[in-house]
């Protein structure tokens, strides 16, 4: 018997390959559940993580689908929406209503002002270097107590090498035009979101959070005040300002999802943490208002938001480093929701030991919930990425093509799908030996990279020395 999967014939049922062609008899969960993904740095360079996530799902679905299902009806045709915030450098995109109300002179002035505040390569390089040198000392003094002094020490040494490598890498980038563009349009995202200067930058950062908030709420059919959105027009409008105030149009019909798996990567996890915090605080406020007014309709919409954030999955997250280096950046969640996420294991954090950006999330003020006995329970359940064949730095972008992570995201979103119970995170070990081994590999690899970075400087110094000897 052939081990090849069943293939559909030309007269067989059409392959269910996207949400729009899902049959009417599909399980309700396949229609009611979806995925919301928030990207990290480099959004303005055109990277679309929703595509990368769907690419990973293709192989994941193939591994989970029953072999006799030729039309792929038994597995979900997942709807994925991207919480895109990377176009903050365009004034018109950030504030379309205000842009339309301005005269031509004002538009030109603020367009130039926006560009000057969002695309500064030199200031970004200086700021990034400063933070890189803060990290080793903050790492040693914060966290790691559960693993003794050895691992904080190893991480501190590792980040010291990272600081050296980062300094030389940023210097080289400043000397090249392409490098300066990357600094301004990619690395600058971190600087801009974490350390806005002045009212204009603060307004842009606030707009980033609002954009992600509204895109999520649109998936569950609500606006920022938790009111029901209007149904999309016929035909649907192409005006982004109007479409954001209407329900999603999927396949020519309005769509309201019930449960959303919120997936975020890198800096997107910081944006997502803050936006979820805002949503949960709003839930608390409106729940209190609904109780005072006996407003059961409002209470129902609050429950839609609470149930809508069904899972939070963070990949390559710098949240622990943000808690140590930039404590004012993070807006802590309400305690009752932290406890709920901890009790129900609704927050899964994946990190890689060769990814210097990521780490275990253990800060007590931002990630720990209080139990009745006074003990603390961490809301994020942290697991190592099982991917082995990668390098320091490259590990940060390896989560999307790690099969187990893709399988977990889709199985957790659709637990009723076939073979979902086969997906387990037991292949993400956290043993002492594995941690020590991977820390050692990272240290050695960074020494090699640092040596390569210093090589051109050494060659130039040798050349200058030979020239001096020649003229003497």
pLDDT of residue 144: 45
pLDDT of residue 434: 61
Q: What whole-number percentage of the chain has pLDDT above 70?
A: 67
Distance CA 393, CA 381 (A): 23
Q: Check which CATH number belongs to the domain holding 300 and give it.
A: 3.40.50.1820
HEC-encoded secondary structure of the chain = CCCCCCCCCCCCCCCCCCHHHCCCCCCHHHHHEEEEEECCCCHHHCCCHHHHHHHHHHHHHHHHCCCCCCCCCCCCCCCEEECCCCCCCCHHHHCHHHHHHCCHHHHHHHHHHHHHHHCCHHHHHHHHHHHHHHHHHHHHHCCCHHHCCHHHHHHHHHHHHHHHHHHHHHHHHHHCHHHHHHHHHHHHHHHHHHCCCHHHHHHHHHHHHHHHHHHHHHHCCECCCCCECECCCCCCCCCHHHHCCECEEECCEEECCCEEEEEEECHHHHHHHHHHHHHHHHHHHHHHHHHHHCCHHHHHHHHHHHHHEEEEEEECCCHHHHHHHCCCCCCCCCHHHHHHHHHHCCEEEEECCCCCCCCCCCCHHHHEEECCCCCEEECEEEEECCCCCCCCCHHHHCHHHCHHHHHHHHHHHCCCCCCHHHCCHHHCCCCHHHHHHHHHHHHHHHHHHHHHHHHHHHHHHHHHHHHHHHHC
Domain assignment of residue 168, yes or no? no
Distance CA 383, CA 388 (A): 14
Domain assignment of residue 172, yes or no? no
Domain assignment of residue 134, yes or no? no
Domain assignment of residue 417, yes or no? yes
pLDDT of residue 85: 74
Distance CA 82, CA 321 (A): 25
pLDDT of residue 369: 86
Domain assignment of residue 247, yes or no? no
Structural domain harbouring 51: 25-118+199-220+257-435
Closest CA to 351 of 322, 387, 323, 306: 387
Number of domains in the chain: 1
Closest CA to 63 of 73, 50, 75, 51: 75
pLDDT of residue 154: 63
Mean pLDDT per segment of 10 residues, for the chain of length 472 residues? 65 82 85 91 56 80 80 84 74 70 75 62 68 66 48 65 70 66 62 76 85 93 93 63 76 90 93 96 96 95 96 93 84 94 93 82 88 83 81 78 90 90 78 60 67 66 67 62
Domain assignment of residue 228, yes or no? no
pLDDT of residue 439: 60
Domain assignment of residue 162, yes or no? no
For 20, other C-beta atoms within 10 Å of its C-beta total: 13
Instruction: Give yes or no for a contact between 244 and 211, defined as CB atoms under 8 angstroms apart.
Output: no
Distance CA 243, CA 246 (A): 5
Domain assignment of residue 213, yes or no? yes
pLDDT of residue 300: 96
Threshold 0.75, pTM exceeds: yes
């Amino acid at each position: 018997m052939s081990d090849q999967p069943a293939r559909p014939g030309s007269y067989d049922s059409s392959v269910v390959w996207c949400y729009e062609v899902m049959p009417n008899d599909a399980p309700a969960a396949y229609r009611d559940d979806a995925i919301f993904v928030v990207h990290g740095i480099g959004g303005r360079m055109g990277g679309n993580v929703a595509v990368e996530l769907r690419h990973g799902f293709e192989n994941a679905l193939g591994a989970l689908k029953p072999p006799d299902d030729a039309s792929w009806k038994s597995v979900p045709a997942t709807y994925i929406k991207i919480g895109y915030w990377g176009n903050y450098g365009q004034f018109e995109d950030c504030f379309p209503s205000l842009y339309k109300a301005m005269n031509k002179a004002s538009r030109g002035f603020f367009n130039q002002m926006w560009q000057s505040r969002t695309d500064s390569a030199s200031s970004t390089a200086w700021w990034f270097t400063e933070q890189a040198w803060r990290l080793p000392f903050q790492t040693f003094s914060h966290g790691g107590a559960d693993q003794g002094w050895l691992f904080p020490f190893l991480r501190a040494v590792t980040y010291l090498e990272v600081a050296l490598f980062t300094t030389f890498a940023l210097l080289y980038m400043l000397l090249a035009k392409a490098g300066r563009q990357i600094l301004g349009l990619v690395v600058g995202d971190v600087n801009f979101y974490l350390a806005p200067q002045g009212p204009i930058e603060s307004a842009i950062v606030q707009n980033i959070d609002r954009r992600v908030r509204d895109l999520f709420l649109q998936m569950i059919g609500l606006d920022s005040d938790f009111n029901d959105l209007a149904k999309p027009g016929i035909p649907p409008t192409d005006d982004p300002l109007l479409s954001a105030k209407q329900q999603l149009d999927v396949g020519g019909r309005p769509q309201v999802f019930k449960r959303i798996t919120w997936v975020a990567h890198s800096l997107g996890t910081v944006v997502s943490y803050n936006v979820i915090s805002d949503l949960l605080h709003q839930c608390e406020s409106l729940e209190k208002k609904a109780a005072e007014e006996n407003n059961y309709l409002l209470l129902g919409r609050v429950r839609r938001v609470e149930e809508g954030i069904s899972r939070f999955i963070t990949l390559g997250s710098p949240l622990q480093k943000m808690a140590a280096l930039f404590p004012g950046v993070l807006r802590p969640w309400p305690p009752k929701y932290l406890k709920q996420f901890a009790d129900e294991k609704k927050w899964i954090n994946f990190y890689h030991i060769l990814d210097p950006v990521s780490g275990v999330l253990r800060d007590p003020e931002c990630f720990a919930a209080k139990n009745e006995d006074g003990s603390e329970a961490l809301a994020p359940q942290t697991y190592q990425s099982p991917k082995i064949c990668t390098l320091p730095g490259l590990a940060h972008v390896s989560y999307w093509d790690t099969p187990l992570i893709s399988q977990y995201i889709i199985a957790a979103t659709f637990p009723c799908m076939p073979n979902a119970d086969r997906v387990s995170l037991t292949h993400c070990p956290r043993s002492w030996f594995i941690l020590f081994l991977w820390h050692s590999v990272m240290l050695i690899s960074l020494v090699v990279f640092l040596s390569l970075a210093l090589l051109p400087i050494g060659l130039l110094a040798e050349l200058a020395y030979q020239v001096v000897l020649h003229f003497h």
